[in-house]
Chain A
């Protein structure tokens, strides 16, 4: 498998062969999680910095475990709020980190484009762990891995992504990644939460949940941020949940083998009824497990393939 990139900034940059390369590597990494001693020496002597400007327990932990199972030294660097709040610009932070000679920097930032900015200024590899509403490529990769595991293939499937598309980096990365793998993607949500000219991303747009999920092989439910009421995007959580939340009753008209996915954390009772989250359709915990495998693969490809 040839991986020539210094950074992983977004699914938009990758081609299908590269995506398959990551998924295959991740599948082989997954075996490590089943071992009693979950440690391989692949990245011994390498340093991974988790640079998180937004709190994110699960993504940060996932990268941390991935690094540690590969024997890398993982340093967590949390910065609250934006860099400008602290009077230190993102570039200053980048220069400081560069001086500590890491091999990979994993960055989560509320500003779209922040990982790209770091990547331009750092010699080491940069992994985008979520930037604003732009991209979250490892999430899309773990979603693809989970779907491929459960369905056996990707091409020709129908995936419907439901909810707040406008503010979702997961939706954007999923759309780019899935389309490259031959998946037909439908996005569904109230028009206020569908971004401008969305269909130009190559997706179908639906404003009716029942219609959008009727033929779906996979339904990806997005988390609704509570503050969306303030922006006038929705009138109330109650109404959103009633119209756009996924209940067992709404699932009745879906394919019997439909998969329910969610990037987490789930707002139980808002976008997902608890009994749906816990139903056999749900593969949410498989996503979490595959997240570690995908991140091991990504760290390996960025830090390990250069040769120690």
Chain B
């Protein structure tokens, strides 16, 4: 099985490549990258002239909802959404039903993904049993079963001692502990606390609700030597804490979502529950700080926090609506149009944040087009125009604050192991 992707602009930050080249794939792996490659007889050819060929994008923060919440999303629908959105792999959070806090659930997810998934699926195991924050989950067995990280995402482990023990216990497995940093006492408000919450009369959660936990977890990472990954960072204060910690040599990484890069709490003025998620949309200064950190590398990767809610959970009053929006099918187009086109972020950096960054921090195959690497490839069309139409999503979720947005630049083709899964 040979495939030749011809004439595309190859952007492979891991190899320092940004040039028009051909990519030769053999038996699901990168065989050779170079100019004027001649494919052997019988090879399939893809003309990628004018397109951008990148190592496959990885979304390390996705809620596939299966098992248990198949009415919101399934491994089949979620991975199709991922492929359509330009992702070759996703890491899925543990807040399923039952919770992915034991090997049987991890095995189930991997088995379903093998049968029904169209992109790679990497389960993330729970830190505590049933996400209750009181007793450690069987982390060794979860790691053995294939979990690539541990997280109680959706909930914050409020017990600092237990979190310290989790970080210590996870050390031998070489996987990060992912923190959903949100002090649940300080952070119960319906939206970001600021002038907008004051005007709207909605209960606010201060940026401090996130920052006290980012600070705590950084201190615990320092104490234990564990690799802390901060999920969906959203405030200027958190960014500063991570930047300072990195400068001190603490093993901390961070991700940011497209919505925290592109929207502020101003959009909540519509009382549209599609603008409700955790952490909430923040103020202008926070958005600016996150953007700056994404550019300078303080933030290692972009992740969507794709969290499809049921429609009924979003219909109605803002304060009562569920948190969560979808993101797999909008992330890449939005950042291409809103950040790359205006020159806020250059293309190699975008590829690093979507591919190389998450691959490295989760120790995954991928993130590179070096010979021998698995042929997970995302091809972008920077000229393709789009309009966000939730009715057309592959995801079962429809909830997005970006409905009706238009732009230019989108995924064109997604290949997993050399096989086209979306185009």
Contact = CB atoms under 8 A, between A and B. Distances in A.
Interface of A: 12, 82-84, 89-91, 109, 111-114, 116-117, 131-135, 169, 172, 195-198, 200-201
B195 A172 contact: no
Nearest to A132: B201
B317 interface: yes
B108 interface: no
A116 to B, nearest CB: 5
B318 A196 contact: no
B202 A132 contact: yes
Contacts of A134: 200-202
A169 B319 CA distance: 15
Interface in B302-339: 312, 315-320
Contact of A112 (B194, B271, B315): B271
Contact of A131 (B198, B201, B312, B315): B201
Contact of B201 (A84, A169, A200): A169
Interface of B: 193-195, 197-204, 206, 271, 312, 315-320
A196 B204 contact: yes
A134 B196 CA distance: 11
A111 B199 contact: no
Contact of B200 (A82, A89, A112, A117): A112
B316 A195 contact: no
B38 to A, nearest CB: 61
Given A91-B316, A111-B317, A200-B198, 6 more contacts: A84-B317, A84-B320, A89-B316, A112-B201, A112-B318, A169-B201
Per CB-CB distance, the 4 closest pairs between chain A and chain B, nearest first, are A113-B271, A134-B201, A111-B317, A133-B201
A117 B199 contact: no
A197 B198 contact: yes
Contacts of A82: 317, 320
User: Most chain-A CB neighbours within 10 Å: which of B198, B203, B206, B317?
Assistant: B317
Given A90-B317, A117-B271, A196-B195, A112 B312 contact: no
B194 A196 contact: yes
A196 B319 contact: no
Contacts of A116: 271
A169 B200 CA distance: 9
Contact of A172 (B194, B201, B271, B315): B201
B202 A133 contact: yes
Contacts of A90: 316-317
B401 to A, nearest CB: 15
Nearest to B319: A111
Contacts of A133: 201-203
Contacts of B201: 112, 131-135, 169, 172
Given A133-B201, A134-B202, A197 B320 contact: no
Given A113-B271, A116-B271, A117-B271, A195 B317 contact: no
Nearest to A232: B185
A113 B198 contact: no
Nearest to B192: A196
Given A112-B271, A113-B271, A196-B193, A12 B316 contact: no
A58 to B, nearest CB: 20
Contacts of A172: 199, 201
Contact of B317 (A113, A135, A198): A113
Nearest to A12: B199
A111 B195 contact: no
Contacts of A117: 271, 316-317
A18 B355 CA distance: 56
Contact of A111 (B193, B194, B318): B318
Contact of A197 (B194, B315, B318): B194
Contacts of A198: 198
Contacts of B202: 112-113, 132-134
A105 B235 CA distance: 40
A200 B320 CA distance: 27
A112 B319 contact: yes
Nearest to B185: A232
Contacts of B318: 111-113
Contacts of B271: 112-113, 116-117
B206 A109 contact: no
Nearest to A200: B195
A44 to B, nearest CB: 34
A139 to B, nearest CB: 13
B221 to A, nearest CB: 30
Contact of A113 (B195, B200, B206): B200
